[in-house]
Amino acid sequence: MAPKRLLATAFLAALAPIAASAASYTFDLASETSIYDPAGDPGTFLNDYTLSITDGGLTGIFGGGYVTGLSYDGSDTVDGGTFQDADRLRRFNNGLGVCNVGECYSEDPVHSVDGASSNTRDYVELSFYSGGELVDVTLTALTFGWIGEWTWGGHDLGFEDTDGSFEILLDTMTGGDIGLGDQLAFSGTVTANLDSYLSRGSFNLADENLFDSVFGIMAGDMASWKLLAVTVDFTPPPPPPPPEIPLPGAIWLMLGALGGLAGLRRLRTA
């Protein structure tokens, strides 16, 4: 006869929640309403403090910032610099740009994320939420637009003598934003595809183990680009386990009867 405890354990295991698996989420930061013609009308686009996008059960909040006098110590921890919120975050058809100091006119199409001016470097701050709570994700890919300096259709575009270098900072101080004490986790340079005036390029980060809830995607020294898309992996937390409710007496009787039937069957076949 099967022990009652074993039968009860199997019964409760069937009720246990199944662990969720990681899913990939891509946040498209391009503005569908922007019609930037390099020789004419820039169109209309976002000119605000933050941008919020929800993909399934995950929400990304994107904001603009800049730092003056940035420095790192020997372990790549931020040990110097003045971090400030940007005046505006700009959303174009080739990605997000930062206007760090106003006035930021909505008809001005050229703001990028750059590190090419006055010891000041722009960044886009990313934070991720699920169910209203800040959650950790793994950053797996970035797509950039308007990278560096290039020529298309006879027009000189981008900023002179700039490139696609970038740095990724993690909120290791868990302050909810990027600042002093946070960690430089990755640096690289994205290469542009110059087949169009958008000058786009992607960078795969899947092997870099960039895991956090808040990230800063910062322009490298003498860089200029716009952030076009962000891809992350996110594993939703498992649902809470069912409450520990004592099994009613009828359940124990049923389990006992099942065990008795099993024992009777063995006797008949002996």
Condensed to tens digits (0 to 9), the pLDDT of residues 1-29 reads 444 444 444 444 444 455 568 899 999 99
Q: What is the pLDDT of residue 137?
A: 98
Average pLDDT, the chain: 81
Q: Is 100 exposed, middle or buried (0-12, 13-18, 19+ CB in 10 A)?
A: buried
In 3D, which of 101, 92, 98 has the Cα closest to residue 122?
Answer: 98
The mean pLDDT of 121-140, rounded to a whole number, is 97
pLDDT tens string 43-93: 445 567 788 999 989 999 999 999 999 999 999 999 999 999 998 888 887
In 3D, which of 60, 214, 220, 216 has the Cα closest to residue 124?
Answer: 216
Cα gap 145→124, rounded to integer Å: 14
**Lowest pLDDT segment from 42-46, 121-125, 212-216:** 42-46
What separation, in Å, do the N-terminal and C-terminal C-alpha atoms of the chain show?
A: 14
Q: What is the pLDDT of residue 212?
A: 98
* DSSP secondary structure letter of residue 23: E
Spell out the residues 6+ positions from residue 78 whose beta carbon is closer than 8 angstroms to its own: 70, 71, 72, 169, 179, 180, 181, 182, 183, 184
61 within 8 A of 96, measured Cβ to Cβ: no
Q: Is 53 exposed, middle or buried (0-12, 13-18, 19+ CB in 10 A)?
A: middle
Cα gap 250→12, rounded to integer Å: 15
pLDDT tens string 241-264: 887 766 565 555 565 655 555 554
The mean pLDDT of 213-228, rounded to a whole number, is 96
Q: Is the pLDDT assigned to residue 224 strictly greater than 90?
A: yes
Q: What is the pLDDT of residue 15?
A: 47
Q: What is the pLDDT of residue 84?
A: 96
For the chain, the domains span 1-16+246-270, 25-240
CA pseudo-torsion sign 106, 120, 93, 51: negative
Assign 210 a pLDDT band (cuts: 50, 70, 90): very high
Write a three-state SS string for 224-266.
Answer: EEEEEEEEEEECCCCCCCCCCCCCCHHHHHHHHHHHHHHHHHH
Q: Is the pLDDT assigned to residue 40 strictly greater than 70?
A: no
**Lowest pLDDT segment from 65-74, 190-199, 217-226:** 190-199
Cα gap 61→233, rounded to integer Å: 16
Long-range contacts of 105-111 (CB under 8 A, 24+ apart): 106/44, 106/45, 106/47, 107/42, 108/42, 109/34, 109/36, 109/42, 109/43, 109/45
What is the reported pTM?
0.79
25-240: which CATH architecture?
Sandwich (2.60)
Q: What is the pLDDT of residue 32?
A: 64
Assign 132 a pLDDT band (cuts: 50, 70, 90): very high
97 within 8 A of 132, measured Cβ to Cβ: no
